[in-house]
């Protein structure tokens, strides 16, 4: 469990607070609008209405005591930048800031952000891959080159073993798990027979995955 200071309680901030709450973290939410605070209250430990560009206000929150500070302000980049810089100056342990462009990202990183959130960009990439591919159910970015994909079983693989399809040798793609009826089998042997109701978790470079699964 971590203590998190969440600054910006708009739509994205509210969704993030809900997910963090489900994971059991303690959340202090801050926003300048009362209606946003009222909406986010069910998912927070505490919440305050205030101006995050005020050094006095931020200092009163004790930012050093939080494990993570997240700036999700999306409608006023100047406020986001000032807030990020103040958090850094006040000694925040880690600052995660939202950006909607590469230019914003550069400014935020130069002014105190440790990492950048790209919700629109990340969702756009996920949607593009997920909804234009016949076999892809989900994916996780590992870095700029590698990813893990959850894939439906291609028809011509059904009835064959993992050793017979041999995608590691052909495409340099590794089967790391097989999922069947929501149960994940992490021990995958070459003798495992593939069935139509299964999905697979596969690891590889994007280019190799694209070639293997015709993305």
Residue 31's pLDDT is 96
Q: How far apart are CA 178 and CA 150, in angstroms?
A: 9
Give the model's confidence band at 187: pLDDT under 50 very low, under 70 low, under 90 confident, else very high: confident
pLDDT at 104 over 90: yes
Strand pairing category for 68-71 and 95-98 = parallel
Where in 58-142 does DSSP place strands (E)?
68-71, 95-98, 115-117, 136-141
Q: What is the pLDDT of residues 33-72, one digit of tens each?
A: 999 999 999 999 999 999 999 999 999 999 999 999 999 9
Between β-strands 3-7 and 26-31, what pairing exists: parallel, antiparallel or unpaired? parallel
Q: Is 34 helix (H, G, I), strand (E, B) or coil?
A: helix
122-180 pLDDT, tens digit per residue, is 777 777 777 777 778 888 878 778 889 888 888 888 999 989 988 888 899 998 888 88
Q: Phi and psi for 205 in degrees, rounded to 5?
A: -70, 150
Taking the C-alpha atoms of residue 204 and residue 29, their distance in angstroms, rounded to an integer, is: 38
- Copy the structure tokens of residue 188: 């995958």
d(CA 187, CA 148): 17
31: number of CA atoms within 13 Å, CB side?
Answer: 25
List the structure tokens of 4. 């998190």
What contacts 2, CB < 8 A, 6 or more positions away? 25, 26, 67, 68
């Amino acid at each position: 469990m971590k203590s998190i200071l969440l600054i910006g309680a708009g739509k994205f901030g509210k969704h993030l607070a809900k997910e963090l709450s489900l994971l059991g973290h303690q959340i202090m939410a801050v926003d300048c609008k009362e209606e946003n605070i009222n909406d986010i209250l069910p998912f927070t430990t505490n919440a305050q209405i205030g101006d995050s560009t005020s050094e006095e206000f931020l200092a009163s929150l004790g930012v050093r005591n939080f494990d993570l500070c997240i700036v999700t302000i999306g409608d006023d980049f100047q406020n986001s930048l000032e807030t990020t810089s103040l958090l850094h100056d006040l000694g925040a342990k880690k600052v995660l800031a939202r950006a909607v462009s590469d230019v914003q990202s550069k400014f935020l990183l130069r002014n105190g952000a440790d990492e950048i959130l790209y919700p629109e960009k990340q969702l756009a990439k996920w949607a593009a891959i997920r909804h234009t591919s016949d076999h892809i159910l989900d994916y996780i970015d590992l870095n700029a080159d590698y990813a893990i994909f959850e894939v439906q079983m291609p028809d011509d693989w059904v009835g064959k073993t993992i050793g017979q399809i041999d995608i590691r040798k052909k495409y340099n793609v590794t089967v790391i798990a097989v999922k069947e009826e929501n149960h994940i089998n992490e021990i995958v042997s070459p003798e495992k027979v593939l069935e139509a109701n299964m999905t697979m978790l596969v690891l590889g470079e994007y280019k190799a995955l694209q070639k293997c699964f015709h993305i």
